Amino acid sequence: MKKKILPVIIAIVLIIVILGASFGKQIIDRYTYSKEVYDMTEYFENKSDSDVAIILQDEFMTQRAVLIDGTYYLDLDTVLELFNSRFYFDQVEGLLIYTLPLDMYTVALDSKTVNSLSGSEDLSYVPVKKNGETLLVAIDYVKRFTNISYEAFTDPGRIQIYNEWNDRTVATVKKDTQVRHRGGVKSPILKEVSAGDKLIVLEQMEEWSKVKTNDAIIGFIENKRLTDIMPEMPIPVTDYKEPEYTDLCRDHKINMAWHSVAGVAGNDTLSSFVANTQSLNVIAPTWFSITDNEGSYESFATADYVSKAHSLGLEVWAVLGNVSGAVVDTEEVLSSTTIRQRLIGNVVDEALSLGIDGINLDFELIPPSAGDDFSEFVREMSIACRTNGLVFSIDNYVPMGGTGYYDRKTQGEVADYVVIMGYDEHYAGSSEAGSVASIDYVESGIKMTLEEVPARKVINGIPFYTRIWSTSGTDVSSQAVDMVTCKQWVANHSLTPQWDDATCQYYAEYTEGNTLNQCWIEDADSIRAKLSVMQANDLAGVAEWRLGFEDDTIWPVIAEYMNN
């Protein structure tokens, strides 16, 4: 009997041993630390020895850096998006430009010489070059004008950049261990770390923490391997001191009227046009207009006009426009540094020679493709005006309909005043009749501009005109008329205008045959409503387009706003 039982016992024992060994192997497999090492070239996605990953703060970026001849470069779009939007590249002349309040730095493609208004300097590296069709800017050159820090690492190539220095959590490695690709002992190893190493703790979980090593490797480590977890305040980089953009904002409200001057003889209308005005303190004659693609311009300016205006207590802010009888490609003018500088220098020289007080820039119909060129023109014009004590104001459409490329934020930084042309809500080419400047349109334009420009620099322009509309079926046409003509139209057709709360204007209409004739009237009441919105938003003042189109009832209303 014993002989029969023994084999059974042995078989059972063997089964138990086999099962135990299998279970033990599973336990060992589950809890044994993997020794697999992650391919770091794959981790940093390096495509070549010159391809460099970017870690900005604690985040892997999709953008890449490039290592060329020992210098690290970023593409210009990355510089503009992440670090400093003031860099500008002149595609026509191959120049990288950086403007300051009183200076302008230029460096040519593949050159080591940086030129400024105060001199030149030779660098040890090339600040700007091309890699294929990609424009590259040396990080060291970006650092000249931007508070950033960076540290580069090789094998594989990566670069740690900081431009923010927020409080963070750090920890010390308690025991030699590994930083792994994911949380878990089976995850591949990114880096061996030693007891005493410092790590930045990005995120703490139940058993693992997401960390960054001192050489910019981001992975996971077991919490039990960390000690001395504590907050740390990094020391920010403050090597670059941003110069102050001083301005010539006046300590009083501005009341500026545009004076439409189509020739030198038009200057003679100044006295009659301002005779019945009240509280006017700035006159803006339309004197300078670009006439060709080389930056030439025509001028109707005279010293006598300036002297007369000054005797009447008016500053003269001469208008420089791009809309004239000549065929001009504004983008061609703006995209060349030589042409921009020629235009700016000549206009400023003439303004100074005549005793003009300021420049009012009125560039309209700029194509979106020229947005960066226009912003650079604005920056360069601001240098010339600031250096020579000229007030610099810029006219803008109401910020609707995709006009963001006019870059009002930059205007608000470098110009003295940003002027909203708060009209043309409905214009000559509109497909339907409507108000030139309804109250909602005016208020929206102000609110949106104030999102980018401080109120003390914002002037809102109001219309001294309206439009009389005629609609027959799908045919819509209009004519712009001054306030006096509008009143005559109402009287001639024996109309009784009704106040329209939606637009804050009087409205009148009549039908003749199949044609509907309409007008949203600009008068003292509609102007008062607009001025109340401006007062509520504490704007820098008011502008009027255009002098001579108003009736005399308007000026007491504007004077009330100015004195409020």
pLDDT digits (tens, 9 = 90+) for 168-213: 999 999 999 999 999 999 999 999 999 999 999 999 999 999 999 9
Task: Tell me if 520 is assigned to some domain.
Answer: no
Per residue in 129-153, pLDDT tens?
999 999 999 999 999 999 999 999 9
Q: Is the confidence at residue 244, as pLDDT, over 60? A: yes
Question: Which of 122, 141, 161 delimits the end of a domain?
Answer: 161
Q: Is the confidence at residue 74, as pLDDT, over 60? A: yes
Long-range contact set of residues 25-33: C-beta below 8 Å, sequence gap at least 24: 31/185, 32/185, 33/178, 33/185
Q: Is the confidence at residue 517, as pLDDT, over 80? A: yes
Task: Tell me if 504 is assigned to some domain.
Answer: no
Q: Kindly state whether residues 124 and 173 are assigned to the same domain.
A: no
Q: Kindly state whether residues 211 and 353 are assigned to the same domain.
A: no
Task: Tell me if 383 is assigned to some domain.
Answer: yes
The whole-number pLDDT of residue 29 equals 54
The whole-number pLDDT of residue 323 equals 84
Q: Kindly state whether residues 227 and 280 are assigned to the same domain.
A: no
Q: Is the confidence at residue 229, as pLDDT, over 90? A: yes
pLDDT band at residue 326 under the 50/70/90 scheme: confident
Q: Kindly state whether residues 107 and 227 are assigned to the same domain.
A: no
Place of tokens 């996605």: 45
Identity of residue 344: I
The whole-number pLDDT of residue 30 equals 63
**Whole-number percent of the chain with pLDDT over 90:** 93
Q: Which of 211, 213, 209, 203 is nearest to 223 (CA)?
A: 209
Question: Which of 393, 417, 441 delimits the end of a domain?
Answer: 417
Provide the 3-class DSSP secondary structure of residue 82: helix
The whole-number pLDDT of residue 325 equals 76
Q: Is the confidence at residue 21, as pLDDT, over 90? A: no
Q: Kindly state whether residues 54 and 185 are assigned to the same domain.
A: no
pLDDT band at residue 8 under the 50/70/90 scheme: low
The whole-number pLDDT of residue 431 equals 96
Per residue in 486-513, pLDDT tens?
999 999 999 999 999 999 999 999 999 9
Task: Tell me if 127 is assigned to some domain.
Answer: yes
Looking up residue 115, the CATH number of its domain turns out to be 3.30.457.10
Q: Kindly state whether residues 349 and 316 are assigned to the same domain.
A: yes
Q: Is the confidence at residue 420, as pLDDT, over 80? A: yes
Q: Is the confidence at residue 63, as pLDDT, over 70? A: yes
Establish whether the linkage from the previous residue to 156 is cis, with ω within 30° of 0.
Answer: yes
What average pLDDT score do residues 449-458 get? 98
Terminal alpha carbon distance of the chain = 120
Task: Tell me if 4 is assigned to some domain.
Answer: no
The whole-number pLDDT of residue 4 equals 62
Establish whether the linkage from the previous residue to 86 is cis, with ω within 30° of 0.
Answer: no
Task: Tell me if 480 is assigned to some domain.
Answer: no
**Whole-number percent of the chain with pLDDT over 70:** 95
Chain mean pLDDT for the chain: 95
Q: Is the confidence at residue 100, as pLDDT, over 90? A: yes
Q: Kindly state whether residues 118 and 193 are assigned to the same domain.
A: no
Q: Kindly state whether residues 327 and 217 are assigned to the same domain.
A: no
Task: Tell me if 517 is assigned to some domain.
Answer: no
Q: Kindly state whether residues 55 and 192 are assigned to the same domain.
A: no
Looking up residue 194, the CATH number of its domain turns out to be 2.30.30.40
CB–CB of 289/323 below 8 Å? Answer: yes
Looking up residue 358, the CATH number of its domain turns out to be 3.20.20.80
Beta bridge partners of 299: 288
Q: Kindly state whether residues 214 and 290 are assigned to the same domain.
A: no
Q: Kindly state whether residues 281 and 321 are assigned to the same domain.
A: yes
For 493: left if phi > 0, alpha if psi spans -120 to 50, otherwise beta; the answer is: alpha
What average pLDDT score do residues 85-99 get? 98
What average pLDDT score do residues 253-279 get? 98
Provide the 3-class DSSP secondary structure of residue 165: coil
Phi, psi of 301 (to 5 degrees): -75, 145
pLDDT band at residue 2 under the 50/70/90 scheme: low
Domain count, the chain: 3
Task: Tell me if 330 is assigned to some domain.
Answer: yes
What average pLDDT score do residues 230-240 get? 96
Cross-sheet strand order for the sheet of 498-500: 475-482, 465-472, 515-521, 505-512, 498-500
What average pLDDT score do residues 291-309 get? 97
Domain of residue 218 covers: 165-232
The whole-number pLDDT of residue 11 equals 64
What average pLDDT score do residues 290-318 get? 98
The whole-number pLDDT of residue 56 equals 98
CB–CB of 143/232 below 8 Å? Answer: no
Q: Which of 445, 386, 442 is nearest to 413 (CA)?
A: 386
Q: Kindly state whether residues 224 and 258 are assigned to the same domain.
A: no
